[in-house]
Structure 1
Amino acid sequence: MVRLRARPAPPDTSKALSRERVAQILGSGAPLRERVLWHLLYESSARAEEVLMLDVPDLDTANRCAVVTRKGGAREVVAWQTGTARLLPRLLAGRRSGPLFLTDRKARPSVAAGDIDPATGRARLSYRRAAELFENHTAGFDDGPYTLHQLRHSRLTHAAEDGASTPVLMKLSGHTSVRSLVKYARISDEGLRRYQAGSDPAARRR
């Protein structure tokens, strides 16, 4: 089975999206497959390549988690929240095998058997296509389009703003080095405003 590979990209300089913008994206009228993918990427903060490599048997829907293969080959659990949990059964539609995210058309003869759903004959959704669909969907925003990585970046930043501990952030991100978390722990302008409002003694007295 061929592993998914992201397109070559320059060093990450992306910024976290605001919570409001994430809510707009996740609550949009995009097709079901895309909404499940975007919810899962944000809620789990997993890398897009890790999520796209998921097969249906990797999922533990009762406990809202799955086992992904991290960079370096480590197998770790990622977990999701209510948004993914509500949409996922509709995407699965009773399927018990094959890739979780599928293309719209049947696979070409050259596609590896492990990347094909035996029930429908469709192939695993590629990173390139998933990224293209997300960029097209978010191109209309004034600071768009966005990248799939920004969903992960946003989730980790929002978790840091909410007071998540370093061990929790490391578990969410899959990083083994604390230094790798620095870019995600930068508080956004929105986070600063929320903190100031919540810690204002005069506001609390009112």
Structure 2
Amino acid sequence: MPVVAFPGTPGPAGERADRRASVAGAVEAFLDSLGAATTRIGYARTLARLTATAGPHHPVAGLDCDHYAAVMAAWDSAAPATWNRHLSALISFTTWAQRQDLVATNPARRLLRRKATHRGDRAIPAARLEKLFTDDRHPLRERLLWRLLYETAARADEILSLNVEDLDPEFRRARVRSKGGALDYVHWATATARLLPRLLNGRTAGPVFLADRRAPASGPRAPAAADICPTTGRGRLSYPRAEYLFKSASAELDPHRQGWTLHQLRHSALTHLAAAGRTAPELQAKSRHQHLSSLGRYVRLGEETSARITAEHDPAARRLLR
């Protein structure tokens, strides 16, 4: 028998509509609609700023260009790729809201994507990476994360989203959710296999990489239950914190003293494999790109190859060998 709500008493559909009428409610509903955890985590950072800028109880129908401009102002001085990534989150949210008849206009219409500039070779020399990975001044958590990102050539958000249950130590692999929501495996080598048990220390569930402090149990900063370790009560290590720690630690080895990004570990791994003679299909299997054409910016042979070729064909070096 169908259940009919009394007049003035909202049913489930009415409750959902009321909840989505506010910015906070619409953002929550949009994030819940995303199937890929990595996409959800990435978009959540941008939309949290939208919620804070407009106010959680602001009507989502009242969002305008000024709200979106204020959100994007936080990344005015950021790299074009960073700007475009945050703008994509706003555009995706807006498209979803329009399909749900929550907004009538497009508040992102005045914002334009920025053209990415060519950055040259972004691969980190292997010798400097090895020095960073083996430096005992850095905590075990960081050294394992950096090593794992390099050996798997995975995206940083994929590795930071790992739970202990996703690991398969026997076959040195982990199950990750790639772009688009597909389930894939990434594989690591001996160095990671030796460090991983030390980090887990007997833990059998929860996030692999944990924050330094216990997660708050309530309030606006309380994480989802899936992002809390059942043994220690600590939350999942966030991308911004992991990025900050890597840039700070690598600044000493970076000739420009700016530090490197986590994404450069993936870029470096693929570039080094290409320099070692791996074929394009092999690189595609490692990187899990859908199309071979996407590998171009990652596997462009750069500084190390140039230095090796120069040294091998140095006339002075050839004279010394005689």
TM-score by length of 2: 0.59
* CA distance in 2: counterparts of 1:195 and 1:61, whole angstroms: 39
SS of the residue corresponding to residue 122 of structure 2 reads coil
Which SS does the other structure have where 1:20 is aligned? helix
Number of positions where the alignment pairs a residue of Structure 1 with one of Structure 2? 204
8 Å Cα contact 1:4-1:126 kept in structure 2: no
SS of residue matched to 2:184: strand
Q: 1:46 aligns with which of 154, 178, 188?
A: 154
Q: Which residue of 1 aligns with 2:168?
A: 60
> What is the alpha-carbon distance in structure 1 between the residues aligned to residue 205 and residue 124 of structure 2?
34
Task: Report the equivalent of 1:19.
Answer: 126
Query: How far apart, in 2, do the equivalents of 1:4 and 1:87 lie?
Result: 26
Q: 1:176 aligns with which of 278, 287, 290?
A: 290
What is the CA distance between 1:17 and its match in structure 2?
A: 0.6
Q: CA deviation at 1:195?
A: 5.5
SS in 2 for 1:104: strand
Q: 1:92 to 1:132 in 2, by over 3 A?
A: same
2: CA distance, partners of 1:193 / 1:98: 44
SS of aligned partner of 2:240:
helix
Shift of 1:160: 0.5
Rg comparison, structure with higher value: 2
TM-score where L is the length of structure 1: 0.90
Percent of residue pairs identical: 49
| Structure 1 unaligned blocks of 5 or more | none
How well do the aligned residues superpose, as a CA RMSD in angstroms? 2.4
For the 8 Å contact 1:175–1:181, the answer to whether it is kept is: yes
More helix by share: 2
Quote how far apart the aligned CAs of 1:27 are. Answer: 1.4
**Greater CA drift, 80-89 or 3-12:** 3-12
Q: Pick one of 81, 102, 107 that aligns with 2:210.
A: 102
Q: Tell me how far 1:4 sits from its aligned partner.
A: 2.7
State the alpha-carbon separation in 1 of the partners of residues 158 and 123 from structure 2: 20
Distance of 1:137 and 1:104 partners within structure 2: 17
Q: Distance in 1 between matches of 2:180 and 2:198?
A: 32
Task: Tell me: higher relative CO, structure 1 or 2? Use CA pairs within 8 A at least 6 residues apart.
Answer: 1
Which residue pairs with 1:74 in the alignment? 182
SS at match of 1:5: helix
Higher mean C-alpha displacement, 15-24 vs 153-162: 15-24
**Secondary structure at 1:159 match in 2:** helix
State the match for 1:134 in structure 2.
246
